[in-house]
């Protein structure tokens, strides 16, 4: 596994076992996790997205956490992968997913999101993705197929997941908690009644997962689904 860090700040603070800097980690050939941070009361908290290298260019799943780190992510891609970013898929409307859309628009990068996400971003007066995804959709870039699914409400009313059938990598986003998570997290926009049902649909929809990447903290396998259900049960 290749691991690369790109320094975003001139000092480092160790919190949650990580420092407050953008990190890029290769998890499969041509597939990377980008991890950005926001400084909360407890320290720097990580947020994950994907960088997918295709024959046509780079596809992002979610922006980094805010405009500054999205710019830094684009700089890293330009310097290291030396391919243009051609698309970004936004998995829900929160800042850790969509906070860098304005930066991508300046670079004429096409952005995709579900109709629910676009509706919420529009109502809040935020930058909007140009292309709307159906509840089950397929995007093809060269030989790379990327599938998106809205399986139901959970962390938010608009959360979608992204499936890479070629490598069996599932990006669960904030619908899925990391196996190391000790709390369900932000439930301001959550539907706690529907969330477990959506996780069960996800389990049935993807019986074969090689890597499951949650929206925050470490990635792994299906144990993240079990942990999410446990946390939802204890949060009642």
Provide DSSP, 24-66: EEEEETTEEEEEEEEEETTEEEEEEEEEEE-SS-EEEES--SS
Angle at CA 168, nearest 5°, toward 90 and 173?
A: 30
C-alpha pair distances (Å), 206 with each of 144, 185, 201, 212: 18, 24, 9, 10
Angle at CA 41, nearest 5°, toward 25 and 90?
A: 45
Q: Are 121 and 127 in contact (CB under 8 A)?
A: yes
Q: Are 58 and 51 in contact (CB under 8 A)?
A: yes
- Which one-letter DSSP state was computed for residue 220? B
Q: Are 65 and 94 in contact (CB under 8 A)?
A: no
Crossing angle, helix 223-234 and helix 194-205, to 10 degrees? 170
Distance CA 100, CA 96 (A): 9
Residue 144 three-state SS: strand
Q: Which residues are catalytic?
A: 92, 94, 96, 155, 186
């Amino acid at each position: 596994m290749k691991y690369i860090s790109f320094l975003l700040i001139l000092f480092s603070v160790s919190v949650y076992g990580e420092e407050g800097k953008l990190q890029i980690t290769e998890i499969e050939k041509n597939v990377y996790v980008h991890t950005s941070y926001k400084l909360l009361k407890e320290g720097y908290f990580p947020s994950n997205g994907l960088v997918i290298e295709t024959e046509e260019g780079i596809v992002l799943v979610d922006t980094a956490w805010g405009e500054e780190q999205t710019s830094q992510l684009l700089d890293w891609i330009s310097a290291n992968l030396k391919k243009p970013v051609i698309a970004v898929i936004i998995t829900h409307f929160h800042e850790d997913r969509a906070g860098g859309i304005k930066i991508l628009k300046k670079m004429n990068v096409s952005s995709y999101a579900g109709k629910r996400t676009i509706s919420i971003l529009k109502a809040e007066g935020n930058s909007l993705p140009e292309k709307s995804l159906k509840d089950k959709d397929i995007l093809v870039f060269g030989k790379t197929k990327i599938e998106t699914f809205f399986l139901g409400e959970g962390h938010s009313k608009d959360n979608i997941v992204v499936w890479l059938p070629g490598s069996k990598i599932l990006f669960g986003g904030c619908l899925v908690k990391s196996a190391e998570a000790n709390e369900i997290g932000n439930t301001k926009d959550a539907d706690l009644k529907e969330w477990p049902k959506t996780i069960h649909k996800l389990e049935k929809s993807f019986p074969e997962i090689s890597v499951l990447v949650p929206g925050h903290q470490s990635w792994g396998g299906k144990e993240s689904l079990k942990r999410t259900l446990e946390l939802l049960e204890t949060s009642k």
